[in-house]
């Protein structure tokens, strides 16, 4: 997609962080944007901050855990803009570190938002994009934790691996329909993900205690000094233009990927050696 003028975008988790930066970049490129977010006051503030000389920007309260809510929000966007072309399934949360500390409700919360939120966005809007026949693009927010496992953040890592796998499959399935797919795998970015529990659902009972310990301290500092979300949004825009599948943000993390695949290949070679031994 080379020209964003006249296109319309739907961005979840768009009231802050990477989502807000993507919404801003899309609007500045000429797209009309519907921001969906669970936090109503930040949502109102985000929409207000983007209005002015930019194309039309609107907001809709939406809990991505609830498919019916995502479907309603998608319909609002379609009714407002006529068609939606770009979907950024960006809403996400962190979760507790450690195998022993994370409760089943914490697991459900992370899976329901990080994975099912993406599934709901795809299900609600991909059929619409197919139907209007003008093509489009899907951006699913994963993480470097979806490429290389982060020790101590099992639930978060599991969901991000799932988003990467889902996106890889979608990229092949949707290509014949002129719908591109990108999966965003950022490193550390300066966002409020460390404060995710501010939106802990009441139906899950009392929220987990604040994260503590060396892993939590490391994550907080890495987020504090992380990349500006606007830089990430710029990389996303370029990826949409180039129909690029993987979006990475940190060149220094390449060594993590190389080590992972070196280990995979080393163990795969053992299978070959075992097969030769049987002959």
Taking every pair of C-alpha atoms in the chain, what is the biggest distance, in angstroms? 72
Cα separation, 237 vs 90, in Å, equals 14
8 A C-beta contact, residue 125 and residue 10: yes
Cα separation, 117 vs 255, in Å, equals 30
Exactly one of 67, 156, 246, 268 is catalytic; name it.
156
Q: Tokens 């399935």 appear where? A: 173
Cα angle, residue 175 at apex, residues 172 and 180 outer, rounded to 5°: 100
6: three-class secondary structure by DSSP: coil
246 is catalytic: no
Cα separation, 51 vs 58, in Å, equals 9
Written as one string, the DSSP assignment of 164-204 is HHHHHHHHHHHGGGTEEEEEEE--SB-SSGGGGGGG--GGG
Q: What is the CA radius of gyration of the chain?
A: 19
- Could you tell me which of 43, 53, 55, 48 has the C-alpha nearest to residue 19? 43
Cα separation, 176 vs 143, in Å, equals 27
Q: Show which residues are catalytic.
A: 156
């Amino acid at each position: 997609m080379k020209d964003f003028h006249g296109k319309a975008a739907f961005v979840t988790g768009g009231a802050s962080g990477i989502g807000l930066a993507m919404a801003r970049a899309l609007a500045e490129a000429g797209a009309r944007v519907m921001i969906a977010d669970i936090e109503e006051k930040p949502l109102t503030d985000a929409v207000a901050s983007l209005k002015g000389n930019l194309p039309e920007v609107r907001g809709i309260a939406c809990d991505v855990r609830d498919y019916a809510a995502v479907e309603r929000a998608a319909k609002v966007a379609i009714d407002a803009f006529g068609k939606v072309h770009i979907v950024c399934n960006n809403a996400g949360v962190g979760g507790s570190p450690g195998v022993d500390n994370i409760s089943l409700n914490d697991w459900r919360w992370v899976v329901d938002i990080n994975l099912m939120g993406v599934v709901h966005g795809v299900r609600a809007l991909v059929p619409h994009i197919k139907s209007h026949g003008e093509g489009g693009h899907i951006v699913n927010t994963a993480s470097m934790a979806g490429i290389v496992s982060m020790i101590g953040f099992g639930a978060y890592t599991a969901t991000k691996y799932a988003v990467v796998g889902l996106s890889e499959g979608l990229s092949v399935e949707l290509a014949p329909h002129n719908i591109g797919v990108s999966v965003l795998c950022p490193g550390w970015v300066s966002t409020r993900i460390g404060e995710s529990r501010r939106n802990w659902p009441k139906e899950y009972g009392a929220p987990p205690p604040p994260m503590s310990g060396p892993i939590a301290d490391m994550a907080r500092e890495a987020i504090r000094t992380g990349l500006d979300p606007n830089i990430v949004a710029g990389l996303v825009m370029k990826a949409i233009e180039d129909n690029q599948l993987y979006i990475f943000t940190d060149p220094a993390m390449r060594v993590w990927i190389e080590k992972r695949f070196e280990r995979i290949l080393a163990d795969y070679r053992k299978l070959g050696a075992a097969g030769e031994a049987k002959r």
